[in-house]
Chains A and B, each alone.
Chain A
Amino acid sequence: MSDALIVFERTRKAFGEHVVLEAVDLTIGRGDIAVVVGPSGSGKSTLLRCVNGLEPISGGDLRVDGISVRGPERDLRRIRLEAGMVFQQFHLFPHLTALQNVMFGLVRVRRRPKAEARERATSLLHKVGLGSRMGHYPSQLSGGQQQRVAIARSLALEPKIMLFDEPTSALDPELRQEVLKVMQAVAQTGMTMVVVTHEMGFAERVGSRLIFMEAGRIVHDGEPGRLLREPPSERFRDFLSHVR
């Protein structure tokens, strides 16, 4: 068993004529907290969505814990069980309460008994600070609360990897911190994380790697503190001045 959890190998992604990822080579190791940044349209969200097969890749290969995303659907489902995803728009199931949202995967995917699922979901919701909101429907929760439920929903399946797709971009500034705090707590459990975000503070505090993308390529990949202190390129410096 190798320590490389996610391996991009000359991974290419195009929507018709439009190339979004150009032959990306990237290896994410166990326990990495990789923060992916870049201007919009640079391909960072697509990079993330290729990992769990929400976007099929157009060329090269991409393996998650040794399983290729080019395999049959059964393989894709195994990958998805290992790699949970948190979305910019939360995407909680609106017809289920917070508790039922977190129980959903345990009951429907892992086929655990309801009582056990309820117990685990309850403890997870307490961990993300929503013990008092379990019976609320998504529409009755603030954006920050919804996103914390979404994180708990993904964690319930006990994934090896957590993928975050701009998890705070849809939130008001005062609600971002509560989500970032939960993400930091997840990071401290040793979870492997890939985080697409504009939160440079999070990258510096929590990230073990900072990846800067532009036009479908990885331009920089290194230790966050150093990259942020001494931006190695004019482009990156320029980008930082816009997001900070």
Chain B
Amino acid sequence: MSFDWASVVAALPSLLEGLQLTILIALTGLAGGVCLGILTGVALAHGGFLARNAAHAYVAVIRGTPIVVQVMFVYFALPMLLGLRLSATSAAIITIVFNSGAYNAEIVRGALQSVPRGLSEAALSMGLPFRSVLAYVVAPIAYRLALPAMGNQVVNVVKDTSIFLVIGVGELTRRGQEVMAETFRAVEIWTAVAALYLILITVLAYSLRLYERWARLP
């Protein structure tokens, strides 16, 4: 059996459309997930009783359930509970934001707690309120400590978007499946799909590494 390049070329427009949606879901998911992760991570590390326990519960629920179940819940159960309508793409974005937010929270908490205490004490002893100590001293150091782990998260988020084919989101993997059903060129299509993921993830991971190097302190 020979590799039929023509079937790859024929599938490409459809796959690239899927890739676009994958990128859209991944990037909004990453942005939202980072924001949610920071809020939750700060609550875990420095929150009061209520905020800390709410954050713990949220992280426990997300880590303790499969992402497929989470997206099913958001897409099918949540609309019934709240009486609203959600498109498959919105459900996918909501799921990835809450999912990656929980994992990011643990990274943020770890980074915050790795900043030497003496630095906070030095800032506090200058009469700075605790909030400002967090913002101007702890955060700039913590975020550099968090970057390597965040790199892993970026990769995970991109790959996790493929799970959303279960609710019919037309992202890359789903598009591959559809083309496959018409052409039966399994080798060509899945190779192409894999190659597109690989390129996307390599570009993202490499840019992040460049950024990490740029942000590194002397």
Which residues from chain A sit less than 8 Å from chain B, CB to CB?
A: 52, 54, 73, 77-78, 80-81, 83-85, 87, 89, 91-95, 104-105, 108-109, 137, 139-140, 150, 153-154, 157
* Cβ-defined contact, B125 with A93, below 8 A: no
* Cβ-defined contact, B217 with A94, below 8 A: yes
* Cβ-defined contact, B218 with A93, below 8 A: no
* Cβ-defined contact, A104 with B121, below 8 A: no
Stretch from B78-86, B126-134, B146-154, B195-203 forming part of the interface with A: B126-134
Please, how many angstroms separate the alpha-carbon atoms of A77 and B128 in the complex? 7
Please, how many angstroms separate the alpha-carbon atoms of A77 and B136 in the complex? 17
Chain A proximity mask over B95-130: 1 for CB below 8 Å, otherwise 0: 000000000000000000000101101111111110
B141 near A: Cβ within 8 Å? yes
B168 near A: Cβ within 8 Å? no
A–B complex contacts, Cβ < 8 Å, 26 sampled? A52-B125, A54-B121, A73-B129, A77-B128, A77-B129, A78-B127, A80-B127, A81-B126, A87-B118, A89-B118, A91-B116, A91-B119, A91-B121, A93-B122, A93-B123, A93-B137, A93-B141, A94-B119, A95-B140, A104-B123, A104-B126, A104-B136, A105-B128, A108-B128, A140-B218, A153-B126
For residue A105, give the distance in angstroms from its CB to the closest CB of chain B: 4
Which residues from chain B sit less than 8 Å from chain A, CB to CB?
A: 116, 118-119, 121-129, 132, 136-137, 140-141, 144, 217-218
* Cβ-defined contact, B125 with A80, below 8 A: yes
Please, how many angstroms separate the alpha-carbon atoms of A2 and B124 in the complex? 27
Partner among B121, B127, B137, B141 whose Cβ is within 8 Å of the Cβ of A87: B121
* Cβ-defined contact, B217 with A137, below 8 A: yes
* Cβ-defined contact, A87 with B217, below 8 A: no
B126 closest partner in A (C-beta): A105
Please, how many angstroms separate the alpha-carbon atoms of A172 and B123 in the complex? 26
Please, how many angstroms separate the alpha-carbon atoms of A157 and B126 in the complex? 8
* Residues on the B chain within 8 Å of A108, using CB: 128, 132, 136
Please, how many angstroms separate the alpha-carbon atoms of A32 and B127 in the complex? 23
For residue B215, give the distance in angstroms from its CB to the closest CB of chain A: 9
With known contacts A81-B127, A108-B128, A91–B122 Cβ distance under 8 A = yes
* Cβ-defined contact, A95 with B122, below 8 A: no
With known contacts A109-B128, A154-B126, A95–B217 Cβ distance under 8 A = yes
Please, how many angstroms separate the alpha-carbon atoms of A104 and B140 in the complex? 14
Please, how many angstroms separate the alpha-carbon atoms of A73 and B127 in the complex? 10
* Cβ-defined contact, B125 with A139, below 8 A: no
Please, how many angstroms separate the alpha-carbon atoms of A108 and B129 in the complex? 10
Please, how many angstroms separate the alpha-carbon atoms of A87 and B136 in the complex? 19
* Residues on the B chain within 8 Å of A95, using CB: 140-141, 144, 217
* Cβ-defined contact, A84 with B217, below 8 A: no
* Residues on the A chain within 8 Å of B119, using CB: 91, 93-94
Please, how many angstroms separate the alpha-carbon atoms of A78 and B128 in the complex? 10
